[in-house]
Amino acid sequence: MDSRVTPDSVEKAIAQPRRPHSARGWALLSLSFSTLGVIYSDIGTSPLYVLNGIWAPDAPAPPKEDVIGGISAIIWAMFLMPLLKYVFICLRFGTGEGEGGSFALFQGLYPPPRQDIDGDRVLTGDSAYKAKSVSGSGHIPNLFRWPLFVWCLFATGLTIADGVLTPAVSVTSAAAGIAVAKPSVANAITGIALAFLIPLFLVQPFGTGKIGFMFAPVTFIWLILLGVTGIVNIIAFPGIFRAFDPSRAVLWFVRTKNYDNLAGVLLAVTGCEAMFANLGQFNILSIQLSFSSFVFPNLILAYLGQGSRVVRDGDAVMNNIFYATIPGSSNGPLFWIVYVFGILATLTASQAMITATFSLIQQVVSMKSLPPIRIRHTSEKIQGQIFVPVVNWILMIAVIIIVVVFKNSNNLTNAYGFAVATVMFSTTTLIAVQMIYVKHWPVIIALAFFLFYGFVDGLFWGASLRKIPDGAWVPLMMASVLMIFMLYWTWAKRLEDRFDGANRRNLRHFIVAGEKGEVTIPTNQHLHAITSENDEFDESESVQERYYYLARDKTSNDSIQEQPEDRKELVRIPTCAVFHKFAAGKGVPHSFVGFIRQWPALPQVVIFLSVCVLPVASVPADQRYDVDKVRSVKGFYGVTYYIGFRENFEVKIDEVVARICSLETVAGHHESSETINEIRRAALQTTHIIPHYHVMSKVELRKGGLIRLPFNWIRRFLIESIYRRLIISFPETAKWTGPADDIIRVGIAAKI
């Protein structure tokens, strides 16, 4: 029975890209509960430091009307940004695979080309590099591609920088509360914060799902504590409800004329981007349900309660407004309960940004804007739940450095807001463009969205820019470095892919079948032995066909008319070679052409292997390989290797050979049994052939060549001194789990 991959099984997943995780009923409630432990703890811990970010701890207490105005600004910022913009608008602009964030928005505008699964197995057609011809969704002009791409990379870099700052700010702020009850340990806050942060990074390998469900009860109790303490504190000054009047916020800014206050209000909406960037971990409905019905109301109550206590108690609570306004004594049981859950909630807040960073890194790697680093999938059901080891350890080191250097939460909050404001403005820009070109909404809607939220984001961004000398230069520097490196890698990888595509060859253009007859071939020799012209071969076996390699490098069909003296004989050897195709497209990979030129012999069985990662955790064994036979050359096969997102990359040659033999049996010609025996004997000695590009920079001197010399030198340095070393450190075979001795790397000089 033919067990080819069918549209009813795995290929159905290919035709339809991975969709957002779907859940209903109790499953939806469970998923919504899990969001508390991953998404909201960042914005949920903002009450720890927001009011002291507006009114400094060493400043006198503000007048009553200023407090009402400040709380009003916070309430309406919470309503306009996380609730309206992100929860009810942005979440609808994720990719078709359910991913969110700045890079997902760019992918929506300029989606990566779909892999032609059947075309990858075609070896008799020429492949051309087509990246330039890929147009954006909805015919968005390619003129905007690179400006939007650079802007998107900068926002991505800032989000990653936010992943460093969030743990540092939130945990340090929570740890600082101990100084309210125990002033003697005020100087040990940095050490206390690190003692909580380091274990957080050590538990990341257990996976987002397990960590999220473990932290979800913590965030749930924390938000309940915020809501309850807020209600108790509101009794101190019920007039705080006047903060729901937006005019109070406007009058506050008019009266104080202090634009910097907006940078403090910005701290209340930190974590907005986490809701969008973590979309792939959950789904739209679960995020909307949990935030609007639970998170948002409790946060509003917390801010109202803090404002009430500031109005009533004044200078007595200014040193640390959050901990000083906890009902009861400063050393009472409620204080320590809130303190413990505050620490746990800030650890959960850190988890939110770490998880969001993993998701962003996965998106950037898939777009070939970062090296192919190792990514582990930690869920059998949700593809978006991942762990990126190298990123986790880099984040941990960076967080430790930031906490030690900045020392206290007040210094850290200056650095914090800039990253948040810039990413929010980037999201507004990209969504406005998507409304026109992806959603095909009327231009007036996109323009209204951009003007309104561009104005609001611009106000926050302008306020955060004023903090650059006070610490905001840190995320700016981190994002700039990341953006430059991602641009560099995108450029260099694009040149390499262009070379690979341009050097794909039609199999018929350089290998043709000649006259039949006896041909002496080596026996019992592994493919590694074909490296010397002085090898001695056993002449006891032969095959019935000769094949010729055309020495002249021609790509047209006329090349097969060359004279016999232009051809070089290729003997067949009883072994199996698997040529890996790392780039999609028709034709044979450059590694095969280079192999034939270096070692003029053909294995008895030649397999050209393409890989397709499916949006399922694992693929059944009987659907793992799809095989096509190459008619022009005996023993040549095109194979697609289907792999689930949680599976290791391990090509099992026995399964491939079984599929090939099944294909030959179905063919049913009179030589099929002999052919199958030859295939099985050859498969006993299998070697995997992988290209190793020795990249070199093209140097072209045109008019004004002397002026171009420094640019050529810089280009050569970037490609040959940096990129060449990086592709060795981050090989495409990073996920290979087979024996290293089975791999031959064919060195190819690639002028890119």
Q: pLDDT at position 129, please? A: 46
Residue 540 in 3-state DSSP? coil
Closest C-alpha to 146, from 90, 96, 111, 106: 106
Taking the C-alpha atoms of 351, 352, 358 and 361 in order, what is their torsion angle to the nearest 10 degrees? -140
Using pLDDT thresholds of 50, 70 and 90, give the confidence band for residue 529.
very low
Residue for token pair 């309104």: 452
Is the overall model pTM greater than 0.85, yes or no?
Answer: no
* CA 88 to chain CA centroid, nearest Å: 24
- On average, the pLDDT of the chain sits at 79
Structure confidence at residue 488 (pLDDT): 95
- Among 158-162, 184-188, 540-544, 712-716, which is the least confidently predicted range? 540-544
Query: In this predicted structure, what is the pLDDT of residue 304?
Result: 97
What 3-state DSSP class applies to 657? helix
For the segment 134-154, the average pLDDT, to the nearest whole number, is 75
Which residue is associated with the tokens 């789990």?
737
| Three-state DSSP state, 476 | helix
Per-residue pLDDT, 76: 96
* Mean pLDDT of the 632-644 span: 86
**Same domain, yes or no: 462 and 539:** no
The structure tokens listed for 495 are 């040149």
Q: Which residues contact 684 (CB under 8 A, 6 or more apart)?
A: none
Residue 319 confidence class, pLDDT cut points 50, 70, 90:
confident
Cα(606)–Cα(169) distance, rounded to whole angstroms? 57
The percent of residues above 70 in pLDDT, for the chain, comes to 76
Question: Where a domain ends, among 491, 523, 549?
Answer: 491
Domain-ending residue, one of 433, 458, 491: 491
Q: Does pLDDT of 600 surpass 90? A: no
Both 260 and 175 in one domain: the answer is yes
Is the separation of the CB atoms in 309 and 215 below 8 Å?
Answer: no
* pLDDT band at residue 39 using 50, 70 and 90 as cut-offs: confident
The pLDDT score that the predictor gives to residue 543 is 38
Q: Which of 5, 512, 539, 466 is nearest to 264 (CA)?
A: 466
> Identity (one letter) of the amino acid at 696?
M
Write out the two tokens for 440: 């095909």
Cβ-based neighbours of 421, under 8 Å, separated by 6 or more: 266, 457, 460, 461, 463, 464
Instruction: Specify the pLDDT at position 719.
Output: 93
Q: Is residue 285 part of a domain?
A: yes
Q: Mean per-residue pLDDT for 638-652?
A: 79
Q: What is the 3-state secondary structure (H, E, C) of 480-531?
A: HHHHHHHHHHHHHHHHHHHHHHHCCECHHHCEEEEEEEEEECCCCCCHHHCC
pLDDT winner (highest mean) among 12-26, 144-158, 289-303, 364-378: 289-303
Q: DSSP code of 588?
A: B
| C-alpha distances in Å from residue 106, one per residue of 74, 437, 475 | 30, 12, 22
pLDDT value at 556 more than 70: no
pLDDT-derived band at 656 (thresholds 50, 70, 90) equals: very high
CA distance 488 to 718: 8
Which residue is listed with tokens 């999609």?
Answer: 584
Per this entry, what is the length of the chain? 752
With respect to residue 655, please indicate whether it lies within any of the assigned structural domains.
Answer: yes
Q: Are residues 608 and 746 in the same domain?
A: yes
- The confidence band for 79, taking pLDDT boundaries of 50, 70 and 90, is very high
Instruction: Examine the domain organization and report whether 600 and 682 are in the same domain.
Output: yes
d(CA 624, CA 646): 14
Higher local confidence (pLDDT), 591 or 486: 486
Q: Indicate whether 53 and 121 sit together in one domain.
A: yes
Q: What is the pLDDT of residue 281?
A: 65
Average pLDDT over residues 525-539: 40
Q: What's the farthest any 2 CA atoms get from each other in the chain?
A: 103
pLDDT at 309 over 50: yes
How far does Cα 482 stand from its chain's mean position?
14
Are 273 and 347 contained in the same domain? yes
pLDDT of residue 381: 57
pLDDT single digits (tens) 198-223: 888 888 777 655 565 667 888 899 99
Residue 82 sits in a domain whose CATH number is 1.20.1740.10
- What DSSP character marks residue 621? G
pLDDT at residue 66, as a whole number? 95
pLDDT computed for residue 644 by the predictor: 73
- Chain segment 434-490, per-residue pLDDT in tens: 999 888 999 999 999 999 999 999 999 998 888 888 778 888 899 999 999 999 999
| Range scoring the smallest mean pLDDT among 385-399, 609-623, 713-727 | 609-623
Write out the two tokens for 246: 């937006």
- Phi and psi (nearest 5°) for 269? -110, 10
| Residues 463 and 540 occupy one common structural domain | no
> Looking at the structure, do residues 486 and 510 belong to the same domain, yes or no?
no
Residue at 540: amino acid letter: S
**Final residue of a structural domain among 449, 464, 491:** 491
Helix or strand run (H / E) with residue 17: none
Average pLDDT over residues 412-432: 84
Q: How many other CB atoms sit within 10 Å of the CB of residue 147? A: 9
Residues 471 and 567 grouped into a single domain: no
Q: Is residue 482 within 8 Å of residue 157, measured between CB atoms? A: yes
Residues 97 and 132 grouped into a single domain: yes
CA dihedral angle for residue 31, residue 35, residue 38, residue 41, rounded to 10 degrees: -160
Is there a single domain that holds both residue 454 and residue 541?
no
pLDDT of residue 208: 57
- Least confidently predicted of 18-27, 241-250, 266-275, 331-340: 18-27
- Residue 342 within any structural domain of the chain: yes
Tokens representing residue 591 in the block:
């590694």
Does some domain include residue 2? no
State whether 595 and 469 are in the same domain.
no
Q: What is the pLDDT of residue 243?
A: 96
3-state secondary structure of 602: strand
Residue 597 covered by a domain = yes
User: Is 17 inside any structural domain?
Assistant: no
The neighbouring-strand residues paired with 643 are 613
Q: Provide the domain count of the chain.
A: 2
* All residues at 6 or more sequence positions from 372 whose CB lies less than 8 Å from its CB, including other chains: 365, 730, 731, 732, 734
**pLDDT at residue 375 is higher than 90:** no
As a whole number of angstroms, the distance between CA 347 and CA 453 comes to 31
- Residue range 423-436: average pLDDT? 91
Residue 550 domain boundaries = 505-697+730-751
- % of the chain residues with pLDDT over 90: 25
Q: Which of 214, 240, 211, 121 lies closest to 610 in space, CA to CA?
A: 121
DSSP 566-594: GEEEEEEEEEEEEEEE-S-SSSB-HHHHH
In a domain, 587, yes or no: yes
The reply to whether 723 falls in a domain is: no
